[in-house]
């Protein structure tokens, strides 16, 4: 590769690629693409997010005119001079060589995620946990310190709790809602804060703007898990986060039929996560990329549908005498209004509620549901209910559960896109069947 074909950042300036980037001065637009080929659709005239869901990143196959991205199952790609140069010059991420390193099917869906999250670059991985592990290890180093919350997805908590210390990182767990605690945890060696925007299952929202400001002032990377809100509700990079992570298994794919993860941020940071992913090996299979890309096309309409039903279900549960408390951003009693600062158009299907009669009654409730399935996970078109005490939070001691605020009888609901009246009727029949002592009646 000659010096003339390199741009100032050192990435290859492929003919046609630069000219395809009219977004360069756009406010929330990608400033630098990548990786991509000239066939990848990256035009951006400031389209709305639902349009991006459908079109962004599509591989427009010029030979056939196919309207959708082809699947590139090939694990390896014919060497060219550019391939050799990419190894020597260090831009391997931009050239298809071997699928763990990069593949046009991955690039399509990565570009879509990047353009939805207002990121320069994105990476897809084999699970949300692969995304989290690769990011935490890539962006910290030995003797580094991470601040996180004890109110975290169980897998993330376990990773931080069990695996970071043996690898030379230390971790402080704080109450992310208490900014004084967050600030007090900062040390000389603090390199990263890692938080979820909306906690599971109580829907506690962190003060993203204040935490981002704190991180900026103290030169700490802010990584957030945006699985619950999705870029339809919130694009954390626009509010000061450095990196955003998703379990794509949930809303991004939306059909409870693939496991995948995604990371988005600046090209510089995502390049480092990519290099870590190469070593850990959690790359995403091209067939799964195809499914994720297909799922993402309907993300905006699905989230609107989830939101409309979650709103109705919240209203219904609030009126039911067997429901003691409801934790829903659609509830008038929702305790974390700060969410609306960075989520002006909230669209989320998650909520929790406590039933009269404690965990025994909650178990009965799950058994009686007919449309809503008793299962873990979330974010799919089908409604799912689970009890945090015996699933997601079963690893916590009773005392830890109390600290987080998990009370007896708590039910978590991932509201799907079924008819709202059907969902409310299903809940009514199940709620009516539990006695106030918790026994089925």
What's the CA gap between 257 and 75, in Å, rounded?
23
Q: Among 59, 153, 239, 330, which residue interacts with ligand PLP (rule: CB under 6 A)?
A: 153
Contact flag: residue 305 with ligand PLP (CB under 6 A): no
How far apart are CB 344 and ligand PLP at their closest, in Å? 22
Within positions 129 to 148, which residues make up the interface with ligand PLP, using CB under 6 A?
A: 129
**Nearest residue to 365 (alpha-carbon basis) of 386, 349, 392:** 386
Q: Which of 196, 207, 242, 271 binds ligand PLP (CB under 6 A)?
A: 196
DSSP state, 410? Answer: E
Q: Which stretch binds ligand PLP (CB under 6 A): 26-34, 164-172, 245-253, 345-353?
A: 245-253
Q: Of 25, 246, 279, 298, give the one whose Cα is nearest residue 124.
A: 246
249 binds ligand PLP (CB under 6 A): yes
Is 250 considered catalytic here? Answer: yes
Catalytic-residue membership of 302: no
Name which of 53, 172, 38, 160 is nearest 107 in CA terms. 38
In 239-289 the beta strands, taken as DSSP E runs, fall at 243-247, 261-265
The question of whether 325 is a catalytic residue gets the answer no
CA distances from 140 to 115, 130, 194, 326, 386 (A): 26, 16, 11, 38, 34
Residue among 130 and 427 whose Cβ is closer to ligand PLP: 130
Q: Considering only the stretches 59-67, 73-81, 208-216, 242-250, report the one whose residues sit in contact with ligand PLP under the rule CB under 6 A.
A: 242-250
- Cβ closest to ligand PLP, residue 132 vs residue 423: 132
Q: Which 364-383 positions form the footprint of ligand PLP (CB under 6 A)?
A: none
CA-based nearest residue to 30, from 167, 235, 172, 215: 235
In DSSP notation, 267-278 reads HHHHHHHHHHHH
Stretch 165-194 residues interacting with ligand PLP (CB under 6 A): none
User: Rounded CA gap, 71 and 105, in Å?
Assistant: 6
> Is residue 414 within the footprint of ligand PLP (CB under 6 A)?
no
Any contact of residue 314 with ligand PLP (CB under 6 A)?
Answer: no
> Does 254 sit near ligand PLP (CB under 6 A)?
no
- Residue identified by tokens 């694009």 is 235
Which of the following is catalytic: 153, 157, 251, 316? 153
Residue tagged active-site, from 250, 267, 302, 322? 250
Name the one range near ligand PLP by CB under 6 A: 124-132, 142-150, 354-362, 381-389: 124-132
| Spatial CB neighbours of 50, under 8 Å, sequence gap ≥ 6 | 300, 301
Considering the complex, state which of residue 42 and residue 232 has its C-beta at the smaller distance from ligand PLP.
232
Of 52 and 250, nearer to ligand PLP (C-beta) is 250
Q: What are 262's strand-pairing partners?
A: 124, 246
Q: 224 vs 300, which CB is nearer to ligand PLP? A: 224
**Is the Cβ of residue 249 or residue 276 nearer to ligand PLP in the bound state?**
249
Please give the Cα distance from 403 to 385 (Å, whole number). 23
What is the C-alpha to C-alpha distance for residues 62 and 335, in angstroms, rounded to an integer? 52
Helix axes 299-318, 420-432, angle to 10 degrees: 40
User: What minimum distance in Å lies between the beta carbon of 311 and ligand PLP?
Assistant: 21
Stretch that binds ligand PLP, among 9-17, 91-99, 125-133, 142-150 (CB under 6 A): 125-133
CA–CA separation, 147 vs 142, rounded Å? Answer: 15
Binding mask 415-434 for ligand PLP (x = CB under 6 A): --------------------
Q: Which helix (H) or strand (E) holds 314?
A: helix 299-318
169 is catalytic: no
Q: Please choose, from the candidates 287, 245, 279, the residue with its C-alpha nearest in 3D space to the C-alpha of residue 262.
A: 245
Output the smallest distance, CB 134 to ligand PLP, in A: 12
d(CA 411, CA 386): 6
Which residues are identified as catalytic?
100, 153, 225, 250
The residues that touch ligand PLP, with contacts defined as CB under 6 A, are 127-129, 153, 155-156, 196, 200, 225, 227, 247, 249-250, 259, 261
């Amino acid at each position: 590769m000659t010096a003339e074909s390199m741009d100032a950042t050192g990435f290859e300036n492929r003919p046609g690629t630069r000219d395809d980037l009219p977004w360069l001065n756009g406010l929330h637009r990608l400033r630098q693409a990548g990786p991509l080929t000239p066939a990848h659709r990256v035009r951006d005239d400031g389209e709305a997010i639902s349009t991006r869901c459908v079109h962004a990143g599509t591989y427009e196959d010029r030979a056939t005119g196919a309207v959708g991205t082809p699947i590139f199952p090939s694990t390896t790609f014919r060497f060219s001079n550019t391939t050799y140069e990419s190894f020597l010059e260090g831009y391997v991420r931009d050239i298809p060589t071997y699928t763990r390193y990069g593949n046009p099917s991955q690039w399509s869906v990565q570009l879509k995620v990047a353009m939805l999250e207002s990121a320069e670059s994105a990476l897809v991985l084999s699970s949300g946990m692969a995304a989290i592990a690769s990011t935490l290890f890539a962006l910290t180093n030995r003797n580094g310190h991470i601040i996180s919350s004890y109110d975290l997805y169980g897998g993330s908590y376990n990773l931080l709790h069990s695996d970071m210390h043996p690898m030379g990182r230390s971790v402080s767990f704080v109450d992310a809602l208490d900014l004084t605690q967050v600030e007090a945890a900062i040390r000389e060696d603090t390199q990263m804060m890692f938080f979820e925007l909306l906690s599971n299952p109580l829907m506690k929202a962190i003060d993203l703007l204040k935490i981002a400001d704190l991180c900026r002032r103290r030169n700490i990377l802010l990584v957030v898990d945006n699985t619950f809100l999705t870029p339809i509700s919130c694009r954390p990079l626009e509010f000061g986060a450095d990196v955003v992570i998703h379990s794509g298994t949930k809303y991004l794919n939306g059909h409870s039929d693939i496991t995948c993860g995604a990371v988005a941020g600046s090209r510089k940071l995502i390049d480092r996560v990519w290099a870590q992913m190469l070593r850990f090996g959690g790359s995403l299979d091209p067939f799964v990329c195809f499914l994720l890309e297909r799922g993402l096309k309907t993300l905006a309409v699905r989230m609107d549908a989830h939101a409309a039903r979650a709103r109705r279900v919240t209203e219904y549960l609030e009126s039911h005498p067997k429901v003691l408390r409801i934790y829903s951003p659609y509830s008038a009693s929702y305790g974390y209004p700060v969410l609306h600062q960075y989520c002006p158009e909230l669209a989320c299907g998650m909520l929790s509620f406590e039933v009269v009669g404690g965990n025994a009654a909650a178990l009965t409730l799950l058994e009686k549901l007919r449309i809503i399935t008793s299962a873990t996970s979330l974010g799919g078109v089908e409604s799912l209910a689970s009890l945090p005490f015996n699933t997601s939070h079963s690893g916590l001691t009773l005392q830890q559960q109390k600290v987080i605020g998990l009370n007896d009888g708590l039910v978590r609901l991932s509201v799907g896109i079924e008819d709202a009246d059907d969902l409310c009727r299903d809940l009514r029949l199940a709620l009516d069947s539990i006695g106030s002592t918790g026994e089925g009646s």
